[in-house]
Amino acid sequence: MRGLACLVMFQTHGYDSWLNPEARKTGFFQWSQIGGTLPAPLFLFLAGISFALVTDRLLQKEVSVDRVARQTILRGAQIFGLGLLFRLQEFLISWGWAPWSDLFRVDILNIIGVSMMLMGVMCWVVLRVSRSCDPRSSLAASAVAVAAAVSLLTPLLWTTWRIRWLPWPIESYINGVHNLGEPQPWLFPVFPWTAFAFAGLAGGFLLFSDWAKTHEAMMFILLGAGGISLVYVSRWLDASRVQLFPVYDYWHTSPNFFLLRAGLLLVILLAAYAWCRWGAGRWRFSPLIQLGRTSLLVYWVHIEFVYGRFSILRHRSQDILHATLGLLAIVLSMLALSIARTNWNRLPLQNRFQSLLFRRGG
């Protein structure tokens, strides 16, 4: 699923950066950007599943609750630090034309780190309070409740309940206001984006339950069916005349759009399971799986070659054909980088640097 997220991310960023004004008016571009609503939820959803896996393994090893919280929250802080480092790198590379406010942009790495820290806090609280021998159900239910609360609060915190007294770099983590006076849909604040991480956390604890371990395929099918149900519930609620919020913005803050995307994530999860168990995922080499293994690296690198100073094509000046060729070049180059990174990891530590030096007489 991370590989799929990388692929969709490449096409979204590539067409957004390179297509000229005429091409941006086409249905092709509009559909490419609709597809772009999935990569960030996918990354956050998978971060939640991974978080559940790590937490479950630590609990099985009878690691103390406090230590589990410390390790998981620290990992989230590390990801958050990488997000800040990425922003600093981009600012330095773009020195001279990038505004200083770019240093405080709330990007996807930042919110993944924040989400992990928040999930660590929630798990610590639930594990402290729960007296169950198998706390997975309590953790899953609590994660669903947090995801629902974040989704329901988003329309209010973006409009009538805005916390305007906070400095904008801090308020931006709540609603993505940045320094522009109003929330920006291209940023990744806590509301609504952490809801996807908590949805993944809930799904992860369900997948690692004792029942799921003995009924693996059935659990994935049930989750996929639940995802389809969420899609229909979302459409039904969107068509309803009853409005709970003073400002309704389906594409950016609506809980209905969150339900739709959460449902699609569960359907994709089922499709990924089928693909890995019975489909091309069983092949000896899978480009998608390979990209997923190094998703952080290819995300970090491709941004500069799509949006940055070293973009392989001129920004906002390409037709669809040339932008597609540029996208193909990005995909192949990121796949090559991913393979090189994986092979580098497989080298014995004592030979990694020796392999880069000329040997005498060689």
pLDDT digits (tens, 9 = 90+) for 272-289: 899 888 776 667 778 888
Cβ-proximal residues to 234 (8 Å cutoff; 6+ apart), any chain: 256, 257, 259, 260, 263
To the nearest 10°, report the CA torsion of 304, 305, 309, 311: -160
- The pLDDT assigned to 280 comes to 64
Number of other CB atoms surrounding residue 228 within 10 Å: 14
- Considering 1-10, 191-200, 337-346, the range whose residues carry the highest mean pLDDT is 191-200
- The pLDDT assigned to 347 comes to 55
DSSP 26-87: SHHHHHHHHHTTSHHHHHHHHHHHHHHHHHHHHHHTT--HHHHHHHHHHHHHHHHHHHHHHH
Tokens of 273: 């399971």
Burial-class residue 12 by CB neighbours within 10 Å (0-12, 13-18, 19+). buried
Distance CA 346, CA 349 (A): 9
124-163 confidence digits (pLDDT tens): 999 998 776 778 899 999 999 999 999 999 999 999 999 9
Q: Is the pLDDT of residue 350 over 70?
A: no
40-56 confidence digits (pLDDT tens): 999 999 999 999 999 99
Distance CA 214, CA 217 (A): 9
- The pLDDT assigned to 296 comes to 87
- The pLDDT assigned to 345 comes to 62
Residues 79-94: what's their mean pLDDT?
89
- Contact between 315 and 325 (Cβ < 8 Å): no
Burial-class residue 132 by CB neighbours within 10 Å (0-12, 13-18, 19+). exposed
Number of other CB atoms surrounding residue 80 within 10 Å: 19
To the nearest 10°, report the CA torsion of 139, 197, 34, 185: 120
Mean pLDDT, the chain, integer:
89
Tokens of 54: 């790590």
What is the phi/psi pair of residue 19, to 5°?
-65, 140
Q: Is the pLDDT of residue 352 over 70?
A: no
Single-letter code of the amino acid located at 278: W
Distance CA 296, CA 162 (A): 32
71-86 confidence digits (pLDDT tens): 999 999 999 999 999 8
Q: Which residue has the higher pLDDT, 250 or 346?
A: 250
3-40 confidence digits (pLDDT tens): 888 999 999 999 999 999 999 999 999 988 888 888 99
Tokens of 328: 């193909």
